[in-house]
Amino acid sequence: MKSKMTNKSILQIAMQHSAWDTGAQLSDFSQTEHVYVDYKLCNKSRKYLKEPLCCNLVSYGNNIVAAVHDDNKQIVKEYLEKFEWYHCFETPNMNWLSEHLAPLGQKVCFMAEYFLPDLNKLKRLECGYELKVLRKEDFADLYTSQWSNALCKERAELDCLGVGAYDGEKLIGLAACSADGEQMWQIGLDVLPEYRRQGIASSLTSNLAVEILEHDKVPFYCCAWSNIRSAKNAIKAGFVPSWVEMTVKLADIVDGMNK
């Protein structure tokens, strides 16, 4: 790989982006005590983060940085003091938080685990099919349901680079990345059902990660904690769990997602 990045510098870049996403300082994520900051986005925050945002709990395994507002700060502080930090991201404890936020019209919304590449493990993996690097101009006809994890029609302007796997002329798998942050590009992935469990996913993920690094950007990968298949793919491709987040949104927004 041509990139001059190291595992340490990659982690620092990720923490800096988390700082931009919350209103915190980079150093806040390395403290041993919890840190509370006024929740605010900036022009360098991840592009898909939209107001209104009520609360975001972020941890790189050292502490929790809690991005809060005046109305919920005391509830969140009581929550973080009540439970061990790692229990703050799981049931049944998060039910306590949601119940105490209910009078404010707020609910726990998303929980996710984020992965960063380990440069000691990352390498281009083969899968037995032809791989091609794809550019933005190659995506025009690919905004369909079968590639909806790799590409996002609503933010098509951010889709910037991909790797496709081909069986002859047929596209059978696609990993693509979105320029969601100033220095970080997020990987999304789809493989046609009949071609799964052949190592295509990890091959696409690893090859795209290397391509991103060669563009001097940091690849990152996100999945729900329960998505074992996706998490295993990240690890096989040379990524490691790096940070977790849990967000709180207005109850109306959460309820709307469940309709």
Tokens of 232: 């295993």
Contacts of 54 (CB under 8 A, 6+ apart): 39, 69, 72, 101, 104, 106, 247, 248, 249, 250
pLDDT in tens, 96-155: 999 999 999 999 999 999 999 999 999 999 999 999 999 999 999 999 999 999 999 999
Radius of gyration of the chain (CA): 19
What is the helix (H) or strand (E) element at residue 212, kind and residue range? Answer: helix 200-214
Instruction: Specify the length of the chain in residues.
Output: 259
Judged against a pLDDT cut of 80, whether residue 3 lies above it is answered with no
pLDDT in tens, 13-69: 999 999 999 999 999 999 999 999 999 999 999 998 888 899 999 999 999 999 999
Judged against a pLDDT cut of 90, whether residue 212 lies above it is answered with yes
Split at pLDDT 50, 70, 90, the class of 259 is confident
Mean pLDDT, the chain, as a whole number? 95
pLDDT in tens, 53-89: 999 999 999 999 999 999 999 999 999 999 999 999 9
Judged against a pLDDT cut of 70, whether residue 168 lies above it is answered with yes
- Whole-angstrom distance, CA of residue 140 vs CA of residue 153: 10
* HEC secondary structure over 93-123: HHHHHHHHHHHHCEEEEEEEEEEEECCCCCC
Judged against a pLDDT cut of 90, whether residue 225 lies above it is answered with no
- Whole-angstrom distance, CA of residue 132 vs CA of residue 46: 28
Residue 238 has a CB neighbour count (10 Å cut-off) of: 23
The pair phi, psi for residue 38, each rounded to 5°, is: -70, 120
Contacts of 188 (CB under 8 A, 6+ apart): 149, 150, 151, 152, 175, 176, 177, 178
pLDDT computed for residue 51 by the predictor: 83
Judged against a pLDDT cut of 80, whether residue 2 lies above it is answered with no
Contact criterion met (CB below 8 Å) for 219 and 179: no
Contact criterion met (CB below 8 Å) for 234 and 224: no
Task: Kindly state the DSSP code that residue 247 receives in the 8-state scheme.
Answer: E
Judged against a pLDDT cut of 70, whether residue 242 lies above it is answered with yes
- Whole-angstrom distance, CA of residue 144 vs CA of residue 153: 8
pLDDT in tens, 199-208: 999 999 999 9
SS3 137: helix
User: Positive or negative CA dihedral for 38, 43, 49, 53?
Assistant: positive
